[in-house]
Amino acid sequence: MTEIKICGLSTADSVDAAVAAGADYLGFNFFPKSPRYVDADKAAALAARVPSHVAKVGIFVDPDDAALDMACAAARLDVIQLHDVADPARISAIAARYRLPVWAVVSVQGSADVASGRRYKGAADRLLFDAKTPKGADLPGGMGLRFDWRLLAGVSHFGLPWGLAGGLDPHNVAEAIAATGAALVDVSSGVETAPGVKSIEKIRAFIKAAKAA
């Protein structure tokens, strides 16, 4: 069955809804420019609501060790998700330092972007293919953009588990799973009413649709 990650959670109600509906992963955003940003205190309070069978994922954009230290301690993270970290050696160093699985986000616009994911073999534990945001955008993801899923043909040969993000919502997630065979789907803006404002109904609908697929 496809695993499900609800990303960018910042309220107790949205965390509780995602857990109750059956999410496998909950994402907490530690990038200060994001409308979904949570500081150490909020992250700790939200993480305390998450049962042990649901994994807590910290989302970071090219973080230094101080930011990772803070988040890992506050939220007792189970997974580190990295945007804008192109160097496999840096990913390996983070995995070794924190002894946690590390997901490398691959921003996709064309086939060359997908192919670039190969460089993370031996460093990352999972690839997450997301739509590339416009040049100059403040955010590396979470903008509701979608890429051509046909570009993922052959990704299974990369030798790494992978997931799909970018432009997913309750209405297209089943189609996305059928088209790509993704073992994990990741949603943020697709279950919101405004940037950073999660909809309990959309969270439930997304998880229901993904499980049915």
**pLDDT tens, the chain, 213 aa long:** 899 999 999 999 999 999 999 999 999 999 999 999 999 999 999 999 999 999 999 999 999 999 999 999 999 999 999 999 999 999 999 999 999 999 999 999 999 999 999 999 999 999 999 998 766 555 565 556 789 999 998 787 788 999 999 999 999 999 999 999 999 999 999 999 999 999 999 999 999 999 999
Known catalytic residues?
Answer: 7, 130
Q: Which of 133, 131, 135, 169 has the alpha carbon at shortest distance from 152?
A: 131
Output b/e per residue, 37-62; b: 16+ Cβ within 10 A: bbeeebbeebbeebeeebbbbbbbbe
Single pTM value for the model: 0.94
Nearest to 128 by CA among 180, 169, 64: 180
Please provide the distance, in angstroms rounded to a whole number, between the alpha carbons at the two ends of the chain.
Answer: 8
